[in-house]
């Protein structure tokens, strides 16, 4: 099985449990969820996959509690590939002696629009935190992570994953995103939960991040959105 791709992740340590998304790309582990980014690397060692990951908070909302009890945590894992993904086990520095585990399940990332063109002054390849807010008095939004690589968008959070494409040059960018559930989210996010949401956007970009304005189609609703991206790590 080819390791590189987009995965949904269920993970835990002791009695704590969490969800996120993870992109494995060229030896890098880059992902996260609504409050934390996952930044790391992996390599093969015989039949095993060995990974080192740092979790880092990107959302200051105190309602999002850190799984490990701290906003920054180091995790070491080893795993083996199965028919649909990878099972990792290992240790997390903030919880000495406890077993950390993670199940990565491959997501279908083939339904992508054509990759866009990147010119001089275009947005930087990397993992970004993204905070999306609905406009026009609608209470709703999303926060998560987004990996931008050469005109391709992969990302998500604990319930959704994003697939898309973009073009960028001269401090501007535009593109389209398909937002889908990997775990049912209607109870958690009634605006986007239960829908496959198509989003068209345009905005500005710079070395440290980007802004965008967008129109989203969620079921029969058309929503205006705005979002801020902050670069967490170059890819």
- In this predicted model, what pLDDT tens digit does every residue of 154-195 receive, in sequence order? 999 999 999 999 999 999 999 999 999 999 987 778 778 888
Lowest-confidence range among 151-155, 191-195, 216-220, 221-225? 191-195
Q: Which residue has the higher pLDDT, 11 or 15?
A: 11
In the predicted model, is pLDDT for residue 99 greater than 70? Answer: yes
Catalogue the long-range contacts made by 98-102 (C-beta closer than 8 Å, 24 or more residues apart): 98/13, 98/14, 99/13, 100/11, 100/12, 100/13, 100/75, 101/11, 101/12, 101/13, 102/9, 102/10, 102/11, 102/12, 102/77
Compute the mean pLDDT over every residue in the chain, rounded to the nearest whole number: 93
Domain ranges of the chain: 5-106, 126-234
Confidence category of residue 2, pLDDT binned at 50, 70, 90:
low
So what's the pLDDT on residue 110? 74
Q: What is the mean pLDDT of residues 110-123?
A: 88
Which CATH code fits 5-106?
2.40.128.380
Tell me how long the chain is.
235
- Class in CATH terms, 126-234: mainly beta
CATH topology of 5-106 equal to that of 126-234? yes
Lowest-confidence range among 18-22, 31-35, 110-114? 110-114
């Amino acid at each position: 099985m080819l390791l590189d791709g987009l995965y949904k992740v269920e993970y835990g340590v002791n009695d704590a449990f969490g969800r996120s998304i993870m992109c494995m790309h060229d030896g890098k582990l880059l992902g996260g969820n609504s409050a934390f980014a996952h930044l790391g690397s992996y390599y093969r060692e015989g039949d095993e996959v060995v990974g080192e990951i740092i979790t880092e908070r990107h959302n200051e909302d105190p309602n999002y509690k850190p799984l490990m009890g701290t906003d920054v945590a180091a995790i070491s894992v080893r795993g083996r590939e199965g028919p649909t993904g990878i099972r990792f086990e290992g240790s997390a520095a903030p919880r000495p002696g406890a077993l950390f585990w993670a199940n990565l399940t491959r997501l279908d990332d083939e339904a992508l629009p054509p990759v866009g063109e990147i010119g001089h002054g275009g947005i930087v390849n990397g993992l970004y935190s993204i905070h999306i807010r609905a406009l026009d008095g609608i209470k709703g939004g999303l926060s998560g992570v987004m990996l931008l690589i050469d005109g391709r968008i992969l990302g998500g959070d604990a319930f959704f994953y994003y697939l898309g494409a973009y073009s960028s040059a001269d401090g501007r960018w535009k593109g389209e995103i398909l937002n889908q559930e990997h775990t049912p989210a209607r109870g958690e996010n009634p605006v986007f939960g239960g829908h496959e949401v198509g989003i068209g956007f345009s905005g500005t970009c710079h070395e440290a991040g980007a802004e965008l304005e967008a129109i989203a189609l969620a079921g029969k609703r058309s929503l205006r959105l705005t979002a801020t991206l902050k670069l967490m790590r170059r890819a």
